[in-house]
Amino acid sequence: MSRRTIAIAAALSLLALGSPLVGANANPVANNSFNSGVDKYEQGDYQGAIADFSKAIEINPQDASAFLNRGVVKTKLGDYLGSIADFTKALEINPEYANAFHNRGAAKAELGDYQGAIADYNKAIEVNPKDAVAYYNRGNAKSDLGDYKGAIADNTTAIRINPKLALAYYNRGNAKFSLEDHQGAIADYNKSIEIIPRHGDAYGNRGNAKAESGDYQGAIDDYTKAIEINPQNASTYVNRGIARELAKDLQGACDDWRKAADLGEENAAEWVKEQC
């Protein structure tokens, strides 16, 4: 039976926080609320962060950074329409706020509005041509639209601006994989892993590229590392099982597919019934 590995794990959009107001117009109480919001955001207390940023806005309704940061937290909570409203308000206050453009673009991308996202990333880049994250995020949106060559170009620019942006190598690798440049993808995943050694998705996607290149043992090794990092990723068990089947280890394949089935993968459950 012919099988193919499950689709590669997509890259995530990156968000950027703003900074509190400084100088003669700064309000100490608003700044305290703002800084408390940043602390709570970093601790994962998103509702508390929203309350603090809202307090800062109440004290100073012209604080674009407070709107921006509240929008970032809303994005984290999946309230994309609410975050877009906050980013738009930040831009009304400061029409040249690059972070607000690329954060709004990220929220639009989450809603599937990739063209709208690209338009916002274009504006972010126009305001700040050295914004590596805006190029990276625009590359994500282009990949989502199937423009893999455009995605490669944007991520290459992001890497030139910030050679340590691991996810740009990862995203470029995904685009190369989609164009069937498996060796080029592997090279990019190698670099991503070099920067972030416990990047489980990079190991998993590198395993896919190795499997497509016929290096089944190399793929198995990468899937094993990805499982070590994230033991609950059903897709990785599916893919390792496929590689083991192709490497003539049906027992190992069945063990992986049983685990994947336990984690909810219906195709794996069917394969167990058929072959194990």
Q: Alpha-carbon dihedral of residues 147, 78, 98, 189, nearest 10 degrees?
A: -50
CATH number for the domain formed by residue range(s) 180-276? 1.25.40.10
d(CA 245, CA 254): 8
pLDDT in tens, 48-106: 999 999 999 999 999 999 999 999 999 999 999 999 999 999 999 999 999 999 899 99
Q: Counting beta carbons within 10 angstroms of the beta carbon of residue 247, is it exposed (0 to 12), middle (13 to 18) or buried (19 or more)? A: middle
Print burial letters for 203-214: b (CB count within 10 Å at least 16), e (below 16): bbbbbbbbbbee
What is residue 30's predicted lDDT score, i.e. its pLDDT? 79
Q: Going by CATH, does the domain composed of 1-169 fall within 1.25.40.10?
A: yes
Strands (E) in 170-213, as ranges, are: none
Domain ranges of the chain: 1-169, 180-276
Residue 88: helix, strand or coil by DSSP?
helix
Q: pTM value?
A: 0.87
Q: How confident is the model at residue 12 (pLDDT cuts 50, 70, 90)?
A: low
